[in-house]
Amino acid sequence: MKINFYKYQGAGNDFILIDHTLNPLNNIDNELVKNLCDRRFGVGADGLMFITKHNQYDFEMHYFNADGNLGSMCGNGGRCIVAFAKHLGIIENETNFLAVDGPHYARISDSGEWIDLQMIDVDTINKDGDAFVLNTGSPHYVVEQKDLVDFDVLNEGKRIRYNNIYSEKGINVNFVENMGDYLFVRTYERGVEDETYACGTGVTAVAIAMAKSKNETGHILTKIKVLGGDIKIEFDYDGIKFTNVFLCGPAKLVFAGEVNY
């Protein structure tokens, strides 16, 4: 079986994208997804997405984790699939599409490589000790960490993700250090079960959690630096609910190809 694919990356978070607009999406081979995402025996990626048609939206996004399982919302993946939809000629510079956590709006820069993606509103934030726990389309654990550049994100992230509280459903673990003009963030992602170069729903959760911790309200713009580059988060907070949440960052086509499976 020959599969045509496109490889995109958003701040180093990389994805395989497959155009499925001419065929119904059913009976997905999870082992195939896992093998394609394998960095030694496949194409290599943090996740895989199918784009399909939808009667009420421009398109629908179907996201699978690198382990082959159907995933929750992926923010950087969402930005990449918007760039892919533009590449395919499905949309121009704006779109409304459907993802697993509901509808999303996005706008595209003139270059086509910078995407502002609207995320879901957030009105519930819990605490676990010093950490914040919230859902931005995917569940996230956010904790501040000094000397983050030398921190063991893999093992500490895995310890939290698999502890008695979160092991059943899993959680993404974000470590953040305030660098003054920006926040430095490193993330352990469930489904990948490793540190990734960026996590879109993760940096969104970090920006919201830090605003909550500082009791900041109004229109807030947060600059984020991850291993794969720079991202910006914007939202409005009235002290009760976070609205107009936008994840803003790069989404670039790396290469296209064909693989035999």
How far apart are the C-alpha atoms of 199 and 232, rounded to whole Å? 12
The sign of the torsion formed by the CA atoms of 66, 68, 69, 75 equals positive
How far apart are the C-alpha atoms of 5 and 43, rounded to whole Å? 9
Q: What is the CATH number of the domain that holds 82?
A: 3.10.310.10
What amino acid positions are annotated as catalytic residues?
74, 199
- Full residue range of the structural domain in which residue 169 is found: 125-248
Each residue's pLDDT, cut to its tens digit, for the chain (261 residues) gives: 788 999 999 999 999 999 999 887 777 899 999 999 999 999 999 999 999 999 999 999 999 999 999 999 999 999 999 999 999 999 999 999 999 999 999 999 988 889 999 999 999 999 999 999 999 999 999 999 999 999 999 999 999 999 999 999 999 999 999 999 999 999 999 999 999 999 999 999 999 999 999 999 999 999 999 999 999 999 999 999 999 999 999 999 999 999 987
Q: Does one domain contain both 42 and 138?
A: no
Q: Does one domain contain both 206 and 236?
A: yes
Q: Does one domain contain both 114 and 6?
A: yes
Q: Does one domain contain both 100 and 44?
A: yes
Q: Does one domain contain both 146 and 233?
A: yes
Q: Does one domain contain both 107 and 144?
A: no
Q: Does one domain contain both 219 and 150?
A: yes
Q: Identify the H or E element spanning 208.
A: helix 200-213
CA 12 to chain centre: 11
Please give the tally of structural domains in the chain. Answer: 2
Would you state the torsion angle of the CA atoms of residues 205, 37, 168, 246, taken in this order, to the nearest 10 degrees? Answer: 20
